[in-house]
Structure 1
């Protein structure tokens, strides 16, 4: 059986299983629970409870059990009116009951005899400030807070800072978010239950694992109905990440037309000049920011079909003052000599001196004291353009079935200056996310509800470096590095913090290499189904997901010329030449068609969970989650894997790393609200003690798992005279394109002597990452609807990804005489 056939068969069997038995947790919904009693506190069994969505008019009806309890699950975040009827009692009505994503709203309903005037209790805004049903450390952000909280740049990610354990390590983007010490790569972001990552990275906006972007409209704030963050001890319905679980629920239309419009702007005329504007005698740096948009929603067919749409545009022009050291232009004049010597500057080098600064750069006098260098200031401009739109349609087929479709698309372009040389980095990004959801109430009493989701998430990105042409020289495929120290004038021993200008079109490709660009076209397709079953005082959930992760990519290389000092650069004396080829070029290692590479991985997920209300105020939650991630593998086996134990390459058709199939994650939690039906400071659900434990798994970051593809190309570092086909490879300047081609041919023709450093995985490396997490907390409602929480949260990590550079340690030791050449077959060598 072929790999494709086997994968298809497993997927089909797994999908059949989850459709027949169950499917993923309803992380984008909430519920209403309560107890019905008469005016004397006696339980009223069999009361009819009708819950009506105030926006769409949809109704759900349940019957209170023999203990007077009722539970209505799978409610979308909205305001609801709850009407209770029972025998000879007057109807009890509570309006404006706000349901938040992932939360349970507790109601206490007291019935009065008929003939008593009907009171409609408006409870909107009277949010339960103490969570008596879950031990998760979490935070909900309601629509009122989404609309009212001041967010810099309307960045959705900043709402996550309200969660306990949240940390902001930068500007508050998704890349900067950490929860309880976990890395941002371990977070999981979902829109209406569909994963919303950049795929190559867990963080939206981090397009290649190396280049965070300024883009912020992956999901416009205009689309957000509710926002929830679970930072630890979340139940079995959440997973595929060991960090924070971020759930976003999008807006929908209703029976009334609603719309909004906004514009935010900033201009440089309202700002003072930058210090370095004045220092360089330049005009004020440009600042022009416009962010505008709007939304509209309403009925197409009242009580049946609704729509919602939004548009937002972000346009920024930001002046940047960049300061770096650059070789003095006087060194390019005829007869110039190397500073401090009588050695003339190599005439072949002189045309490249102007490439270290853009034409508009100015010199700051007295910046550095190192002869031959000048401090150069460039007043550059970053240009950011981004626009997003969203559309959603909800169709209430009947009282038992509802379908909705939601899609949003963001398109961004950013051009950022890359030093004073005039080089730039251009980033183009098109995130897209969509869902088709079908919710079906299988029993009229609402005790059995199925929810199926078909989701798509894509994050196309193009990242490339650009260099200006100077003196007719095309530097787009190279980089010039000058080493050594550059001293700040007047401060002995202090090196310039701004560094030395690096002309050329190469950008950071990974932690060890630079290249011309990194095009990615990743996407995932999710098949999700969930079943919620209320049985007595048990609320059971079963779920599963099959997620297909796919990735097209190329990796574009280049050549880096490094000089150990300015003097060596001026004489053309190289320290090293590092060549990096293109992944799409013919491979010297693997057989296959070449070209753009295509990788794939599948996620198989299933869970079961029960929330058991043992008695009022005491709830036990327990569940089990299973996750399996197939290793990321190139379609045509075009990947290079180094065996660190043997020092040889592995066969190209084997998986790069191992993936465990025994990833069972139990979850257990208990919550206790003392004397929930009583009165007093600690009674009536005002105080709750919670504790929980769980084992959590995560797939790791895709950017760390594509290294076998990244290694399938020539990469050569030359540090000494090397002649191939009559051409000296260790030289600069030379015909750059021809020299790069010759280095590639030299590498390909010398399989036994070439120096090569492929990425490698330890033989003990195993996916997935594993976290043991536990917590204990006490939450107390205070006067004024304030809440205090005292908690202890602990975790232990196992099998977490660690990147390092190392050499193989050889066995054995020997002793040699002083002056004798070092042997190459012993790990420890002693001299006498």
Structure 2
């Protein structure tokens, strides 16, 4: 029994040791900020042993550091936000620096020149605002919460805002407005690099859908505290990019309760008809696009424990829009293509030798192909499966006398999603701070067709993202930041058929084409400008990362 207990304690110890040892690689991407500077006496000489305190005004969190022999202090890996700063040392008045905002990945430099006096006396340091990136060569663009919420985004896709950064362009702006980032959304081309060469981070955690380096989880703009697009000279902690790094951090709760609700909508009532529909005499496409949700955050215990929650739903529906497609005319179903091909100046040739390829006789390649007189294929050369398809009640007759654009399919598309984030921040003590976040989204994008042989398209994408981050101050000049997280994206899409279609493949004469009673067709297609892409299919892709 003692051996088992010793083994269990040893395993726990090794696990904790492994987490500490791997903390830097696992949490290498910085999602915080830093403050550094020098504390000097009135003559400009360095003051060692001075205490510099930063207080986050929204949550009351205190961070302290001491100056070294050169009078330099460093407050590393502190959360972004608004801070008040003060410096204290015996024999000098307390110097207070007015509140300022720290941005993501910023290193702000604030220097203090102390005045002789008692520590109980206070002077306010009046100087220029902290210089941004004074200690880093990185070229970056910060997009804060106010910008995220204020700028109009057609699909509430914050990645559109990356195009505000110098060097970021796109040849296809509409790709940012599909409502489906994880499957087909656009990304910026940065400094001449392809869109696949960017790296997306969320609270320091990998946020890529790696099949084409697409975006994994897309947080709502109202949930984003800010994001930083680094386009040049990123520090060594970042990797997996050639173009740019889009590092995003979500909001946290504060000592006050805050929240908002919203709804954005687009409707075809407000739209004009498209040029193509006007040309062909079709009504304008229907559109119902609603995005709604809300946020709430605040204290669980003042100055200690905070929460933030947001929810967003998308109902991007394209109800019943009609378009033409092609079906075989009555003559074409019997092999007579003379009307169609006469207009195009095309002649059909028989690929089979005389007496073969007809009435079930296997086709033997002809040494010299003979033309089909008047572009009419003998009825005996038409495949029985095609003949059965033409006779099926599921294959429509032309609705007009046209040779093409002689049938109408009414299609509706839905891009529906629900997503939410939960984040908890806990100031355990002056030396230990912990935060936890869990994000989940589920996209369901069905496509419905009135022409049943087109089938019903489906696309589903459950997305999971979560992490836990523990920051421990070991001493005034030593800090450990441990972070673990998981990002999981699953893409599940394909085409299915209604049960009313039945085992159509076997009904048409295709043996073993409906395994396990799967209805409809399996990969039957037509080309040459006619109906193509028929058949059921299913693809599942999983992209986990930790």
Q: TM-score range by the shorter chain?
A: 0.7 to 0.9
**TM-aligned CA distance change 1:103 to 1:359, over 3 Å:** farther
SS at match of 1:152: coil
**TM-aligned CA distance change 1:127 to 1:283, over 3 Å:** farther
**TM-aligned CA distance change 1:121 to 1:415, over 3 Å:** farther
Determine the C-alpha separation between the residues in 2 that align with 1:503 and 1:471.
Answer: 19
Alignment TM-score, normalising by the size of structure 2: 0.75
Match of 1:158 among 141, 157, 160: 160
Residue of structure 2 equivalent to 1:551: none
Determine the C-alpha separation between the residues in 2 that align with 1:327 and 1:501.
Answer: 7
* Deviations 1:652-693, CA, capped at 9 Å, x for gaps: xxxxxxxxxxxxxxxxxxxxxxxxxxxxxxxxxxxxxxxxxx
Residue of structure 2 equivalent to 1:425: 457
Match of 1:92 among 86, 90, 95: 95
Structure 1 residue 325, shift from structure 2 partner: 5.3
Match of 1:67 among 46, 67, 70: 70
Structure 1 residue 41, shift from structure 2 partner: 4.9
Query: Within the alignment, does 1:524 sit opposite 2:545 as a pair?
Result: yes
Q: Which runs of 5+ in 2 are unaligned?
A: 1-12, 340-373, 506-519
**TM-aligned CA distance change 1:160 to 1:66, over 3 Å:** same
Residue of structure 2 equivalent to 1:352: 389
1:375-390 alignment, distance < 5 Å: 378-390=409-421
Determine the C-alpha separation between the residues in 2 that align with 1:221 and 1:145.
Answer: 9
Residue of structure 2 equivalent to 1:440: 472
Structure 1 residue 455, shift from structure 2 partner: 0.8
Q: Is the 8 A contact 2:170 2:187 kept in 1?
A: yes
Determine the C-alpha separation between the residues in 1 that align with 2:441 and 2:488.
Answer: 10
Structure 1 residue 27, shift from structure 2 partner: 1.2
Determine the C-alpha separation between the residues in 2 that align with 1:68 and 1:412.
Answer: 54
Q: Is the 8 A contact 1:435 1:455 kept in 2?
A: yes
Structure 1 residue 448, shift from structure 2 partner: 0.9
Determine the C-alpha separation between the residues in 2 that align with 1:169 and 1:354.
Answer: 47
Determine the C-alpha separation between the residues in 1 that align with 2:468 and 2:397.
Answer: 52
Match of 1:198 among 189, 209, 215: 209
Structure 1 residue 375, shift from structure 2 partner: 6.0
**TM-aligned CA distance change 1:430 to 1:471, over 3 Å:** closer
Residue of structure 2 equivalent to 1:187: 198
1:503-514 alignment, distance < 5 Å: 503-505=533-535
Residue of structure 2 equivalent to 1:23: 24
Q: Is the 8 A contact 1:357 1:422 kept in 2?
A: no
Determine the C-alpha separation between the residues in 2 that align with 1:377 and 1:42.
Answer: 84
SS at match of 2:525: strand
Determine the C-alpha separation between the residues in 2 that align with 1:358 and 1:267.
Answer: 34
Query: Within the alignment, does 1:461 sit opposite 2:491 as a pair?
Result: yes
Question: Which deviates the most, 188-197 or 59-68?
Answer: 59-68
Structure 1 residue 264, shift from structure 2 partner: 0.5
* Deviations 1:539-576, CA, capped at 9 Å, x for gaps: xxxxxxxxxxxxxxxxxxxxxxxxxxxxxxxxxxxxxx
Structure 1 residue 105, shift from structure 2 partner: 1.1
Residue of structure 2 equivalent to 1:285: 285
Determine the C-alpha separation between the residues in 1 that align with 2:127 and 2:85.
Answer: 10
Residue of structure 1 equivalent to 2:366: none
Structure 1 residue 424, shift from structure 2 partner: 4.4
Normalized per residue, the structure richer in helix is 2
**TM-aligned CA distance change 1:27 to 1:337, over 3 Å:** same
Q: Which runs of 5+ in 1 are unaligned?
A: 1-11, 206-216, 367-371, 484-498, 507-515, 526-832
Q: Is the 8 A contact 2:299 2:305 kept in 1?
A: yes
Match of 2:480 among 450, 460, 483: 450
Q: Is the 8 A contact 1:253 1:298 kept in 2?
A: yes
Determine the C-alpha separation between the residues in 1 that align with 2:399 and 2:99.
Answer: 63
Determine the C-alpha separation between the residues in 1 that align with 2:225 and 2:151.
Answer: 14
Q: Is the 8 A contact 1:315 1:384 kept in 2?
A: yes
Question: Which deviates the most, 48-57 or 150-159?
Answer: 150-159
Determine the C-alpha separation between the residues in 1 that align with 2:209 and 2:411.
Answer: 29
Determine the C-alpha separation between the residues in 2 that align with 1:269 and 1:138.
Answer: 41
Q: Is the 8 A contact 1:32 1:71 kept in 2?
A: yes
Structure 1 residue 261, shift from structure 2 partner: 1.1
**TM-aligned CA distance change 1:183 to 1:378, over 3 Å:** same
Residue of structure 1 equivalent to 2:10: none
* Deviations 1:251-291, CA, capped at 9 Å, x for gaps: 11121111111110111111112233334433332111110
Determine the C-alpha separation between the residues in 2 that align with 1:360 and 1:280.
Answer: 20
Query: Within the alignment, does 1:479 sit opposite 2:517 as a pair?
Result: no
SS at match of 2:155: helix
* Deviations 1:698-753, CA, capped at 9 Å, x for gaps: xxxxxxxxxxxxxxxxxxxxxxxxxxxxxxxxxxxxxxxxxxxxxxxxxxxxxxxx
Determine the C-alpha separation between the residues in 2 that align with 1:356 and 1:122.
Answer: 83
Structure 1 residue 330, shift from structure 2 partner: 3.3
Q: Is the 8 A contact 2:95 2:125 kept in 1?
A: yes
Determine the C-alpha separation between the residues in 1 that align with 2:289 and 2:251.
Answer: 27
Structure 1 residue 71, shift from structure 2 partner: 1.5
Determine the C-alpha separation between the residues in 2 that align with 1:473 and 1:321.
Answer: 27
Query: Within the alignment, does 1:33 sit opposite 2:6 as a pair?
Result: no
Query: Within the alignment, does 1:501 sit opposite 2:531 as a pair?
Result: yes
Determine the C-alpha separation between the residues in 1 that align with 2:22 and 2:272.
Answer: 64
Structure 1 residue 90, shift from structure 2 partner: 3.5
* Deviations 1:389-445, CA, capped at 9 Å, x for gaps: 1111111110000111110000001124799864443110001000011110011x2
Structure 1 residue 343, shift from structure 2 partner: 4.1
Determine the C-alpha separation between the residues in 2 that align with 1:517 and 1:347.
Answer: 28
Query: Within the alignment, does 1:392 sit opposite 2:423 as a pair?
Result: yes
Residue of structure 2 equivalent to 1:133: 135
1:742-781 alignment, distance < 5 Å: none
Determine the C-alpha separation between the residues in 2 that align with 1:175 and 1:111.
Answer: 52
SS at match of 1:479: coil
Residue of structure 2 equivalent to 1:778: none
1:364-375 alignment, distance < 5 Å: 372-374=403-405
Residue of structure 1 equivalent to 2:144: 142
Q: Is the 8 A contact 1:329 1:353 kept in 2?
A: no
Alignment TM-score, normalising by the size of structure 1: 0.51
1:624-703 alignment, distance < 5 Å: none
Structure 1 residue 22, shift from structure 2 partner: 6.1
Structure 1 residue 467, shift from structure 2 partner: 5.0
Determine the C-alpha separation between the residues in 2 that align with 1:419 and 1:103.
Answer: 55
Structure 1 residue 34, shift from structure 2 partner: 2.0
Residue of structure 1 equivalent to 2:361: none
Structure 1 residue 127, shift from structure 2 partner: 6.8
1:706-785 alignment, distance < 5 Å: none
